[in-house]
């Protein structure tokens, strides 16, 4: 966790909210939240400080994103909330047709439905 926090908070991440968010989203996509949840079960003060720092900076960054888009909060865990924000942000810009094209192409992605999705 010390390494992850250092990667997020120093170098390019120190100056760039977008860079920190990009890296954090990558870590989250790779399953770091599941690992953090497991690490929380250990009774280790040093580890807990690193986990707390990760979550504190994450919360601060999400508040900054919300302020940037003039929102009280942005629920980055909600597809609908992120989509609505993107739609509002891009609705009257040259980027909107590209967003629509991206979404149209996403419709073509193969989907496999499992009976037991929650146990993966």
Identify the residue whose tokens are 């942000």.
89
pLDDT of residue 71: 82
Q: Are 48 and 11 in contact (CB under 8 A)?
A: no
pLDDT of residue 76: 82
Tokens, residue 66 = 């919300």
Tokens, residue 77 = 């865990």
pTM of the model: 0.72
Phi-psi region of 5 (alpha: psi -120 to 50; beta: other; left: phi over 0): alpha
Q: Grade residue 68 by pLDDT with cuts at 50, 70 and 90.
A: confident
Inform me whether the pLDDT recorded for 117 exceeds 80.
Answer: no
- Reported as half-sphere exposure (CB side, CA atoms, 13 A), residue 23 has a value of 20
State the Cα angle at 85 between 74 and 88, rounded to 5°.
150
The domain limits of the chain are: 1-74, 75-109
pLDDT of residue 46: 94
Q: What is the mean pLDDT of residues 101-112?
A: 90
Q: What is the mean pLDDT of residues 20-42?
A: 94
């Amino acid at each position: 966790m010390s390494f992850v926090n250092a990667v997020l908070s120093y170098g390019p991440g120190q100056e760039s909210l977008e860079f920190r968010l990009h890296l954090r989203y990558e870590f989250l996509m790779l399953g770091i939240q599941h690992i953090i949840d497991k690490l929380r079960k250990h009774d280790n003060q040093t580890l807990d400080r690193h986990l707390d720092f990760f979550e504190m900076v994450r919360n601060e960054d999400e508040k900054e994103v919300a302020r940037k888009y003039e929102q009280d909060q942005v629920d980055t865990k909600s597809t609908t909330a992120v989509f609505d924000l993107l739609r509002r942000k891009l609705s009257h810009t040259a980027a909107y047709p590209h967003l629509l094209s991206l979404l149209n192409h996403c419709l073509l992605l193969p989907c496999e439905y499992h009976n037991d999705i929650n146990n993966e």
